[in-house]
Structure 1
Amino acid sequence: MKSSLRSIGDTAAQFGLATHVLRHWEDAGLLAPGRDSAGRRLFGDDDLVRIAVILRSKAAGMSLQQIAVLLSDDHGRERHTVLQEHIADLDRRMAEMTLSRAMAVHAFECEAHDLTRCPGFRATIADVLAGTAPWPAGQALP
Structure 2
Amino acid sequence: MTAILRLNVDMKSSEAGPRLGIGDVARRFGLATHVLRHWETMGLLAPVRAEGARRHYSSADLYRVAAILHAKEAGFGLEDIRDMITTRDPTSRQKLLQRRRAELTRRIAKMQGSLELIDAALGCDHDDIARCPRLQTVLAERIGAEAPSAIRHDDAIPTVYDHIGTCAVRTGGASR
**Range into which the TM-score falls when normalised by the shorter chain:** 0.7 to 0.9
The AA in structure 1 aligned to 2:17 is S
Q: Which whole-Å CA distance do the structure 2 matches of 1:28 and 1:46 have between them?
A: 18
Bigger Rg over Cα:
2
The C-alpha deviation readout for 1:15-67, integer Å capped at 9, x for no partner, is 00000000000000000000112101111101000000000000110011111
Structure 1 vs Structure 2 CA RMSD: 2.3
Residue 35 of structure 1 is matched in structure 2 by 49
State the identity as a percent: 39
Residues 1-142 of structure 1 aligned to structure 2 (within 5 Å):
2-130=16-144, 142=157
Unaligned regions of 5+ residues in structure 2, if any?
1-12, 146-152, 158-176
Say if 1:105 and 1:125 are closer, same or farther in 2 by CA, change over 3 A.
closer
Query: Higher helix share goes to which structure?
Result: 1
Unaligned regions of 5+ residues in structure 1, if any?
132-138
Q: CA deviation at 1:113?
A: 3.8
Q: Which whole-Å CA distance do the structure 1 matches of 2:101 and 2:144 have between them?
A: 32
CA contact (8 A) 2:116 2:138 kept: no
TM-score, with normalisation over the residues of structure 2?
A: 0.69
The C-alpha deviation readout for 1:98-125, integer Å capped at 9, x for no partner, is 1111111111112224322223322333
The C-alpha deviation readout for 1:82-106, integer Å capped at 9, x for no partner, is 1111111111111111111111111
Q: CA deviation at 1:74?
A: 2.5
CA contact (8 A) 2:120 2:138 kept: no
The AA in structure 1 aligned to 2:100 is H
